[in-house]
Amino acid sequence: MDLAKPLKGKTAIITGSNSGIGLGVARTLAEAGADVVLNSFTDETEDHALAASIAEEFGVTARYIKADMSKPDECRALIEEAGACDILVNNAGIQHVAPMEEFPTEKWDAIIAINLSSAFHTTAVALPMMRAAGWGRIINIASAHGLTASPYKSAYVAAKHGIVGITKVAALETAKEPITANAICPGYVLTPLVESQIPDTAKKYGLTEEEAKQQIILERQPSKEFATTEQIGGTAVFLCSTAADQITGTTISIDGGWTAL
């Protein structure tokens, strides 16, 4: 094994990975030597250029494959088109916030489809590939909301609890094989999307940007610090290591103490 590139020769597919957490995980896996497949529902020149830049920076093969994670057939086709899947990172997700009695049906359906059902469809196709290769890692990006709840996020909380559940099922179905399934549960992560919301949040509450981060955005995160995409990626790399061979069917929280409350 190349200690500098422990994942050399492995192929990782990361859903929802042209920005944010997914992109951070893809970059960290590529840095560890994995060939990566990026994904989102768009098919822009920038998407393919992003894959090319990762390939050049880390000396791996990197591709971008368009697939809409709200559509079961496209979820499955993503894995099939990739042709190999040693590491599957189910990351794609969307959010909507509203009281239950006002929650739009179409938003509920979309969140369940993208945040939960897509992971079932990709895993169902990836598992035979992992078995044929004699090794595999399923890493589901859940959330602190997969372990606890907040008001007005009924679909998101339901989907993330479901992701934790399906992770356990996958782990039990592969328990006697060299395949593991685990869920990473981040709290608030400093992504470009979150960063862009800080000025508006500060303005809304009449606070400085630092006060808005500490008092509003990070209210439930005891560390009062954001997690980073690199930390999530590093955890994914660890779960792919031999040190994690007997870690399966569980959750790893990266939430600054949120779920300890």
Mean pLDDT value across residues 59-71? 98
pLDDT for 256 equals: 98
Between β-strands 11-14 and 35-40, what pairing exists: parallel, antiparallel or unpaired? parallel
pLDDT for 3 equals: 76
Average predicted confidence (pLDDT) for the chain: 97
pLDDT, tens only, 119-148: 999 999 999 999 999 999 999 999 999 999
Mean pLDDT value across residues 233-241? 98
Of 152, 156, 188, 205, which is the active-site residue? 156
pLDDT for 2 equals: 73
218 CB-near residues (< 8 Å, 6+ apart): 188, 224, 225, 226, 256
Provide the residue count of the chain.
261
- Which 3 state secondary structure label does DSSP give 181? strand
Q: Which helix (H) or strand (E) holds 87?
A: strand 87-90
Over 90: is that where the pLDDT of 105 sits? yes
Residue 1's pLDDT band, with cuts at 50, 70 and 90, is low
pLDDT for 129 equals: 98
Interatomic CA distance for residues 124 and 145, integer angstroms: 24
Mean pLDDT value across residues 160-181? 98
Tell me the Ramachandran region of residue 132: left when phi exceeds 0, alpha when psi lies from -120 to 50, beta otherwise. alpha
pLDDT for 207 equals: 97
Over 70: is that where the pLDDT of 52 sits? yes
Over 90: is that where the pLDDT of 95 sits? yes
| 156 in catalytic set | yes
Mean pLDDT value across residues 54-79? 98
Tokens of residue 192, six digits = 């470009």
pLDDT, tens only, 2-28: 778 999 999 999 999 999 999 999 999
Q: Which helix (H) or strand (E) holds 105?
A: helix 105-112
Interatomic CA distance for residues 223 and 204, integer angstroms: 24
CB 144 within 8 A of CB 253: yes
Mean pLDDT value across residues 80-101? 97
Measured CA distances, 25 to 42, 146, 170, 212, 232 (Å): 19, 19, 21, 27, 7
Interatomic CA distance for residues 165 and 114, integer angstroms: 16
Amino acid at the residue 94:
I
pLDDT, tens only, 240-259: 999 999 999 999 999 999 99
Give me the residue spans of the domains in the chain: 11-189+227-255, 190-226
Class of CATH domain 11-189+227-255: alpha beta
Please choose, from the candidates 172, 163, 189, 190, the residue with its C-alpha nearest in 3D space to the C-alpha of residue 251.
Answer: 163
Interatomic CA distance for residues 186 and 30, integer angstroms: 21
